[in-house]
Amino acid sequence: MSQGKRKLPIAGNIYPKYTSKNLVVKYLMKRFFRDLDRLLCSLRVKKVLDVGCGEGYITQHIANSLKDVYIEGCDLQEDIITLASQLNPGLKFSVQSCYKLSYKDNGFDLIVACELLEHLEDPLKAIEEIKRVSSNFCLFSVPQEPLWRILNLL
């Protein structure tokens, strides 16, 4: 399946913003990744975990941006992890709940959780678990509302 031809929502994404041809969306995503790169380059990390990685777009972006960093992604849905593995060969993905990660305490320098918290029944429990496996940094990102709701409607 081509990344650009996906029509159905995947893993909670209502709008396919990572593959959109819409100029406004492309601009917003470019700005998001530029800001993410700026932040990542300021951190000294060797091991990164992308929790709630979905199709792996951010996981792959981080892998491309930080060449000497080990990164892996995890998500709750097995079909999404299968798709992430297909779209991003060479990266490690696993099926896991953000409430109970199988990693040891302080196992990663940086945990990234983009657009995860707003989908959870108990975000505080997930934050505590993510904090447990991070030795240094946690990056949480949520969609900028109402902007994305408006774009979804359009």
- pLDDT (tens digit per residue) in 72-95: 999 999 999 999 999 999 999 999
In a domain, 80, yes or no: yes
Structural domain total, the chain: 1
Residue 67: pLDDT band by 50, 70, 90 thresholds?
Answer: confident
Residue 7 lies in a domain: no
Structural domain includes residue 100: yes
Is residue 36 situated within a structural domain? yes
In a domain, 41, yes or no: yes
The verdict on residue 24 lying in a domain is yes
**Does residue 4 form part of some domain?**
no
Mean pLDDT of the chain: 85
Q: Is the pLDDT of residue 150 over 60?
A: no
**Residue range(s) defining the domain that contains residue 122:** 12-153
pTM, two decimal places: 0.82
- What is d(CA 140, CA 130) in angstroms, rounded to the nearest whole number? 10
CATH code of the domain covering residue 83: 3.40.50.150
Is 121 a member of any domain? yes
Q: What is the pLDDT of residues 18-53, one digit of tens each?
A: 777 888 778 888 988 999 999 998 998 999 999 999
